[in-house]
Amino acid sequence: MMNRDLLRKLPKVDELLQEEIVKKELNNTMRTLVVETLRQTIDTYRNLILKDKISELSKEDMLKTFSEHIKKNNSPKLRKVINATGTVVHTNLGRSLLSKSAVDAVVNVAENYNNLEYDIDKGKRGLRYSHIEDLIKKITGAESAMVVNNNAAAVMLVLNTLCSEKEAIVSRGQLVEIGGSFRVPDVMSFSGAKLVEVGTTNRTHLYDYENNINENTGVLLKVHTSNFKIMGFTEEVSIEDLVELGKKHSIPTYEDIGSGVLVDYSKYGFVYEPTVQESLKRGIDVVTFSGDKMLGGPQAGVIVGKKEYIDKMKKNQLTRALRVDKMTLAALEATLKYYLDEKEAIDNIPTLNMILNSKENIKRKANKLKRRLSNKVKNFEFKIESDYSMVGGGAMPTERLDTYVIKVKSYELSPEEIECKLRMNDTPIVVRIYNNEVIMDLRTLFEKDFDIIVNAFQNLK
């Protein structure tokens, strides 16, 4: 009986439209969205009544709920989050951050007409790849280059062009899954290439490749296993040996290097990761890599190598379906320009800067944030400890980056409750929980976000 009485008291949309708070919202929001949110609010309370969750109905409470709903409905679905995990290239959180110059370049071409496919010097139609091809060639030493929308697309285009209805020979130990259940064998199969697995998971020899070469072999493929390492009793064929075998049988060689390393990190104390430049110097015909991993740019798949093969790819009908837009090209060009001077790249590309950031600088940030949290947030304990960060994005899986973290303890909330409330903050803050402690890694935190973090903790209840 009570349910029916409360249901009858639910106001109509037209009635709520007369409320001042709703009228005020109509000045800033489309009427369609306001009406839809009012219906959503009414439905929320109808369900609460039907489930016996409330025994009283207040219009003030409904209008408060409306305000919460309209704020959420007005917010973009894709929005800023604060990465306190310490994983630099975090796939779930958008991978690499763009440099300021890359962001400016995107804005410039997005809000203005531009010469995407117009040759200003000749006054006629041009090619979109021309804007960055020379720059990529200069940095990598390649004869030719082109860009598609991601590295999986690059792999598919290369194999479809060089190996459609032919065989691609690859070591069994290199058939990796690249995340999100996307697997190299599946991408290869979709390209029209027939996969020929050789060797074993841990050991592949040159004769494994040579014994499987026939008149239908289209390419000798090498996949850099950037997201895992096989240790112990292992052997793989060197690039030099694979190149010589390809030349002997007039078969192109192709390496998917994946993470897109353009800087030799071993100079900075890291384990050696193969660079794009080194693969090309060793004679590989075609190399593909990502733009938004170790390169530190936008999502893209970059293809470099011998001009005769790249030219064929540019003419492949798949290229139109896989091509990049003006904003990707603008961001990629601005990012690549920094690689003309390695120091400039490290100083200005956020991914490189975070990976190579000194432990001392990270500690300074940790002390600054801890002081602010300790001074302004009650009922929490904050302590600084040494820890390690990860590169992420399937790159350098064995590399641990020395860092400092702030560990958080509450006298009232569990670690899981703290994590959830921080994640549900207006600007979500993504943290780690380890050993029953909430952990914020300062490597991936920016001082410009400290106010947001402090306010979030002040509002935790």
Is residue 265 pLDDT above 80, yes or no?
Answer: yes
In the predicted model, what is the mean pLDDT of residues 226-236?
A: 56
CATH number (3.40.50.10140, 3.30.470.10, 3.90.1150.110, 3.40.190.10) of 82-91+355-458 reads: 3.90.1150.110
| Span(s) in the chain for CATH 3.90.1150.110 | 82-91+355-458
Read off the pLDDT of residues 269-305 as tens digits, 9 standing for 90 and up. 888 888 999 999 999 999 999 999 999 999 999 999 9
pLDDT value, residue 1 = 46
**Using an 8 Å Cβ cutoff, are 264 and 295 in contact?**
no
How far is the C-alpha of 159 from the C-alpha of 386, rounded, in Å? Answer: 45
Is residue 179 pLDDT above 90, yes or no?
Answer: no
**What is the pLDDT confidence band of residue 235, given thresholds at 50, 70 and 90?**
low
What is this structure's pTM? 0.89
Is residue 2 pLDDT above 80, yes or no?
Answer: no
pLDDT value, residue 5 = 83
pLDDT value, residue 171 = 87
Instruction: Please choose, from the candidates 64, 68, 85, 88, the residue with its C-alpha nearest in 3D space to the C-alpha of residue 426.
Output: 68
In the predicted model, what is the mean pLDDT of residues 443-450?
A: 98
User: Could you tell me the two tokens for 420?
Assistant: 């959830």
Instruction: Please choose, from the candidates 418, 404, 317, the residue with its C-alpha nearest in 3D space to the C-alpha of residue 358.
Output: 404
Q: How many C-alpha atoms does 142 have within 13 Å on its Cβ side?
A: 31
Measured at the alpha carbon of residue 98, what is the angle toward residues 388 and 419, in degrees to the nearest 5?
A: 45
Measured at the alpha carbon of residue 309, what is the angle toward residues 307 and 311, in degrees to the nearest 5?
A: 65
In the predicted model, what is the mean pLDDT of residues 184-213?
A: 81
> Which residues make beta-bridge pairs with 301?
148, 290
The packing angle between helices 100-110 and 326-337, to 10°, is: 150
CATH 3.40.50.150 fits 99-348, yes or no: no
Task: For residue 238, count CB atoms less than 10 angstroms from its CB and return exposed for 0-12, middle for 13-18, buried for 19 or more.
Answer: exposed
| Span(s) in the chain for CATH 3.40.640.10 | 99-348
> Which residues make beta-bridge pairs with 351?
none
Between residues 214 and 174, which one has the greater pLDDT? 214
Read off the pLDDT of residues 73-110 as tens digits, 9 standing for 90 and up. 998 999 999 999 999 999 999 999 999 999 999 999 99
Instruction: Please choose, from the candidates 211, 201, 203, the residue with its C-alpha nearest in 3D space to the C-alpha of residue 169.
Output: 211
Distance of CA 409 to the CA centre of its chain: 30
**What is the pLDDT confidence band of residue 178, given thresholds at 50, 70 and 90?**
low
Strands (E), 354-419: 380-392, 401-410
Read off the pLDDT of residues 374-403 as tens digits, 9 standing for 90 and up. 999 998 999 999 999 999 877 777 789 999
Distance of CA 162 to the CA centre of its chain: 28
* Of the listed ranges 15-29, 89-103, 212-226, the one predicted with least confidence: 212-226
Helix, strand, coil percentages, rounded to 5, for the chain: 45, 20, 35
> Which residues make beta-bridge pairs with 145?
304
* Average model confidence (pLDDT) across the chain: 91
Read off the pLDDT of residues 133-163 as tens digits, 9 standing for 90 and up. 999 999 999 999 999 999 989 999 999 999 9
In the chain, the percentage of residues whose pLDDT exceeds 70 is: 94
How far is the C-alpha of 209 from the C-alpha of 199, rounded, in Å? Answer: 8
Is residue 175 pLDDT above 70, yes or no?
Answer: no
> Which residues make beta-bridge pairs with 406?
384, 440
Read off the pLDDT of residues 300-330 as tens digits, 9 standing for 90 and up. 999 999 999 999 999 999 999 999 999 999 9
Distance of CA 331 to the CA centre of its chain: 14
Residues of 249-260 as b/e, b for ≥16 C-beta within 10 angstroms?
eebbbbbbbbbb
Residue in the structure block whose two tokens are 């009232």: 412
Q: Which residues contact 456 (CB under 8 A, 6 or more apart)?
A: 421, 422, 425, 427, 429
pLDDT value, residue 203 = 80
How far is the C-alpha of 136 from the C-alpha of 144, rounded, in Å? Answer: 8
> Which residues make beta-bridge pairs with 195?
168
> Which residues make beta-bridge pairs with 290?
301
